[in-house]
Structure 1
Amino acid sequence: MKALLMLENGMTFEGTGFGDEHNVVSEIVFNSAMCGYPELLTDPSYAGQSVVMTYPMIGNYGICYQDAESTRPWLSAYIVHSVSNVASNFRCDIDLDHYLKRYQIPGLQGIDTRALTRILRESGTMRGMIAYGDSIDLEAMKKQIENFKMESYVPKVSIRGGKIYGDGGVKIALMDYGVKGNIIRCLTERGATVKCFPWDASYDEVKEWKPDGIMLTNGPGDPQDCKKPIEEIKRIYASGTPTFAICLGHQLMALANGGDTYKLKYGHRGINHPVKDLKANRVYISSQNHGFVVDAKTMDPKIAEPSFISMNDGSIEGFDYKNGRVFTVQFHPEAAGGPHDTRFLFDRFMNLIGGAAL
């Protein structure tokens, strides 16, 4: 079916639909990864966003359910230059088109995704709408885009509350703001029993389980919308419990300690982002998916010091807290998809709480 993408600045891109062809309004972002699209599709941090892939051909190895990072895809729509008609992979369970249909996710192909990406880089992330059909009302699209506002998606994607994974000797309470499955796997394979708590769980509920450590996970949206988690994280920090935070969790820990966050022009999304370890004076390649960062100038140096920075724009990619019991990173060390360069951070966490490391 004919499909049209309109950006909030009025620019349009015409292509054809795939997946579940229904109109959708969302935030339009881009991802520079050349592979790992099954993991991307199932990353809860993309809730409320339509993702543009800069790599031209997507879907050539289909979808393997084992690679999913959550129970379903969470993005609003998927925008690619070309969908492969053949899914050639012995592990393939379903092709991309039918997978998106199964979960009612719209797709758009046949547009110049590189040109669209350059517009998003130059003008910044924008709202947009995808509409399907031979007769599309452009004025109606403009009004829907103007009326669209990003909401707090954390309550929608936090679905693992109460579940327990693994049977190791170290107990880790995981605050689920939209966790990726490989974070849990990276902990259980290091000998941890992981209990997932919902996004709005109180510290009292967590403390009752008597965890040895606490994990704050990734998740979607503006961290400043997460009022209740921020208040509970203040209590977690004050408890002195060893804590490791990733992505949204990293931002929430900073907000709980008096810091501030701001929105990047077009965000960091891909599996090839270089970050520098300031203590080791070493650069690692990381997987990233975020539109907000912590403002380093707002963090009290007596509370925390930067541990990693982005080599692309100098933004903060991690903090070490002076109490010696908390460290956080903006990128994704679980690397799904992405390089394994920084998985040693899970070993650091296990060593901090006296557990085993690989």
Structure 2
Amino acid sequence: MKYSNRNKAILLLADGTVFHGKSIGIEGTVFGEVCFNTGMTGYQEIFTDPSYFGQIMVASNAHIGNYGTNEEEVEADRIMISGLVCKNFSFNHSRVNSTDGLKEYFEKQNLVAISDVDTRALVSYIRDNGAMNAAISTDGTSVEDLKKQLAEVPNMDGLELSSKVSTTEPYFVGNPDAKYKISALDLGIKKNILRNLVKRDCYIKVFPYNSTYEDLRSFNPDGYFLSNGPGDPAPLVVAQDTAKKILENNEPVFGICLGHQVLALANGISTYKMFNGHRGINHPVRNMITGEGEITSQNHGFAVVREELEKHPDFEITHEHVNDGTVAGMRMKNKNCFSVQYHPEASPGPHDASYLFDQFIENIQKAKN
């Protein structure tokens, strides 16, 4: 294939706006909610993050693919994004420990990608007009046909997606002789979260997204973890009920991202769909307990309603996003429970937020004593 003679491709937004580009060589048409990530590196981790399931990713970094891929640098066993939009796609890569090129990686999973798009203009447009459904097509499908198909794609608001990415059967991670046992509810869990828990002498049993409290309790755990994941938290009624019962028994629980939102909903605190969401590895967060700042990795399109959280007598806000004041963390005053909206396992600081895993272990130790 001659890269200079690549087929024309298009990105169609739900409001009818069209951006033009070129196919990287994989034909097809895909749909999803268009969003952008501001990270300058870590594209393979982004593409395999279950929280991005159902989304078309716009890379704001100008070069994608330049350092290839490595089979160890994944957050799941498959690509989770619906498709990719980028400016410059590197067909050649240069890195000592790369195991494949990005195009070859995409070909194995038939991921449609469009390059040579004016991503600066596209990101600016999304910032001004909000996240919306979109289609990318590299197979010559007409704009009119794409509009008809796009009109049938459900909106992310109200969409339950954890069932699409969660394990279907429980599995174990870590050393069976570890000091602590953790029951983890897989709403779309990232591998690096599990690595961080294993590093802290935890043996984890990972349960499907719709597991009950009784299921999780059967492992006789020292603590519970509610994971990140895609979609709207509101339809996850079983997960909310599971969270309620964990709290009723005042057992240690830690939630990240979607798990954080589920804990809020379990206490009657609402969530809402954000205009754009936060996606990147440079988001500033203020720890309201210590006053210190953290550089964090974030990936979410929903958030907890701050006004309701502030009025709840059993909660306090522990972290806030510096840019817009949204809730980035919370804890309960009368329960062994805390959660954050961002991703401490991603370590962009690089270690600014890793203390949260240590805090979880400390809470478990206190409960055991």
- 1:72 paired residue among 78, 87, 110: 78
Q: Are the equivalent residues in 2 in contact too, given 1:175–1:196 (CA < 8 A)?
A: yes
SS at match of 1:262: strand
Q: How many residues align?
A: 354
- State the Cα distance separating 1:160 from its structure 2 match: 6.5
Change (3 A) 1:338 1:196: farther
- State the Cα distance separating 1:128 from its structure 2 match: 0.8
SS at match of 2:324: coil
- State the Cα distance separating 1:231 from its structure 2 match: 1.4
CA RMSD between the two structures: 1.4
- 1:128 paired residue among 114, 119, 134: 134
Q: Are the equivalent residues in 1 in contact too, given 2:296–2:348 (CA < 8 A)?
A: no
Gaps of 5+ in 1: none
Counterpart of 1:283 in structure 2 is: 293
Q: Are the equivalent residues in 2 in contact too, given 1:161–1:176 (CA < 8 A)?
A: no
1:156-182 Cα deviation digits (max 9, x unpaired): 100274111112110011100000000
1:84 paired with 2:90, answer yes
2:161 and 2:207 map into 1 onto residues whose CA distance is 16
1:78-132 Cα deviation digits (max 9, x unpaired): 1110111221111111111111111121101001001000000000001111112
Counterpart of 1:226 in structure 2 is: 236
- 2:161 paired residue among 153, 156, 162: 153
Change (3 A) 1:128 1:214: same
Counterpart of 1:310 in structure 2 is: 321
Under a length normalisation based on structure 2, what TM-score does the superposition of the two structures give?
0.93
1:132 and 1:36 map into 2 onto residues whose CA distance is 25
2:348 and 2:94 map into 1 onto residues whose CA distance is 19
Q: Are the equivalent residues in 2 in contact too, given 1:176–1:196 (CA < 8 A)?
A: yes
- State the Cα distance separating 1:337 from its structure 2 match: 6.3
2:26 and 2:314 map into 1 onto residues whose CA distance is 48
- State the Cα distance separating 1:298 from its structure 2 match: 1.8
Under a length normalisation based on structure 1, what TM-score does the superposition of the two structures give?
0.96
1:236 and 1:254 map into 2 onto residues whose CA distance is 13
1:338 and 1:153 map into 2 onto residues whose CA distance is 29
Gaps of 5+ in 2: 1-6
2:208 and 2:152 map into 1 onto residues whose CA distance is 30
Counterpart of 1:51 in structure 2 is: 57
- State the Cα distance separating 1:19 from its structure 2 match: 5.8
* Aligned residue type for 1:38: Q
Change (3 A) 1:64 1:19: farther
1:342 paired with 2:350, answer no
Q: 1 or 2 for the larger relative contact order (CA 8 Å, sep ≥6)?
A: 1
1:238 and 1:313 map into 2 onto residues whose CA distance is 33
